[in-house]
Amino acid sequence: MSRPYRFAVIGTGFFAQNHLHAWAQIPDVELVAVCDTDPERLAAAARDFSGRPYADAAELFANEELDFVDIATTPPTHPQMVFLAAEHGVPAICQKPLAWDLADARAMVEAMEAKGLPFMVHENFRFQYPMRRVKEVLDAGTIGRPFFGRFSFRSFHDCYTPQPWLLDSERMIIVDVVVHLFDLARFFIGEPESLYAEALKVNPRIIGEDVATVMMRMPGATAIADASYETFSNHSTYPQAFVTIEGTRGVITLGPDYHLQVVSHPVDVGDSAARMTGAVVFDEDLQIPEHAWASRPWHGIQDSVVALQRHWVECLRTGRTPETSGADTLRTMELTLGAYESLATGQPYRVGSSA
């Protein structure tokens, strides 16, 4: 490559700080502009990361020659930003959730596809280092064929002070966190055919749901995604996601503090005597890669932002389709929005039933 990829970050709020710091350590990219409607946030980002400041995204696209944009605004603005990117022929990464409804999400993907533009959703949980280790163990066949998964995110962390928009969001923990757990379920086990959701509002200060449990059915497997922002603990594990995957030859558990345990049996289901005697147990305390700008407890998530951005640059360079492309993420979006449909109807949601 003769020159670095020139890009802009749109939305310079709470989570975008991770994007900006991570980009600063990625080779072959150059931040040329930042955009935010909030003057203080915009000025701070322009000062700290050296991009030209824009208060209006349309002006940014009109004035800058960009190789891509990184969209980290709040969810209701995602369609507007992606349509602008498509109109100006600019590849884009967009934060999750892609949109509030499937029609918008599909239109966004179609707009980018119509111009042949690379398009990725910032679905960073699968890029967390511990999740990549789980995937390695699974793909090596160590636990056989997976038939059950549990993907869990429960804490009593105050997410509302840094992200006050979550207080007023009619849709909350399912679009905020369970969306990531759906992506993990797909990444590790496969495509759900149906799901059934239950949710609660425990905290009276908020409008949407802050506790949710979803059961999924895949071909030959079931899985549970559960999340809560109201779960007390004397040892905060926020923002860690826990994973259990049971297979025909063993179990993988990613537990608190990034502890990975793999129990593997020498034979498949069926020969109980051999299974009782031959189990191999492997324990590992996973070490998250360190970054000078990262801070606990966010370091695992912050490292995943670096990994995701490296993946995007590698995809731009090679022409590969990103793992969590817009088209791929439509499946995650359908599960997310299907969960709300299941809540509304009290019935299971069948994947593919949305017009």
Window of 5-13, 25-33, 82-90, 315-323 that interacts with ligand NAD by CB under 6 A: 5-13
Nearest approach in angstroms of CB 217 to ligand NAD is 26
Nearest approach in angstroms of CB 307 to ligand NAD is 12
Q: Do the strands 5-10 and 29-35 form a parallel or antiparallel pair, or are they unpaired? A: parallel
Q: Name the token pair of 232.
A: 């007390």
Asked if 75 is part of the footprint of ligand NAD (rule: CB under 6 A), the reply reads yes
Contact 312, 120 (CB under 8 A): yes
Angle at alpha carbon of residue 214, lines to 217 and 259, rounded to 5°: 95
Retrieve residue 26's tokens: 């990625």
Q: CA-to-CA distance for 65 and 237, rounded, in angstroms?
A: 42
| Rounded CA separation 80/304 (Å) | 26
Residues 170-209 that bind ligand NAD (CB under 6 A): 176
**Sequence letter at residue 139:** D
Q: Which stretch binds ligand NAD (CB under 6 A): 7-15, 286-294, 323-331, 338-346?
A: 7-15
The interface with ligand NAD within residues 113-132 (CB under 6 A) comprises 122, 124
Indicate the residue whose CB is closest to ligand NAD: 13
Say what angle helices 16-24 and 299-318 make with each other, to 10 degrees: 60
Among 8, 35, 99, 199, binds ligand NAD (CB under 6 A): 35
Which lies closer to ligand NAD via its Cβ, residue 37 or residue 248?
37
Shortest separation between residue 306's beta carbon and ligand NAD, angstroms: 13
Q: Is 239 helix (H, G, I), strand (E, B) or coil?
A: coil
Residue 10 engages ligand NAD in binding (rule: CB under 6 A): yes
Phi/psi of residue 220, each to 5°? 75, 15
Among 4, 6, 26, 37, binds ligand NAD (CB under 6 A): 37
Contacts with ligand NAD, residue ranges (CB under 6 A) = 10-16, 35-38, 41, 57, 72-75, 77, 95-96, 122, 124, 163, 165, 176, 301
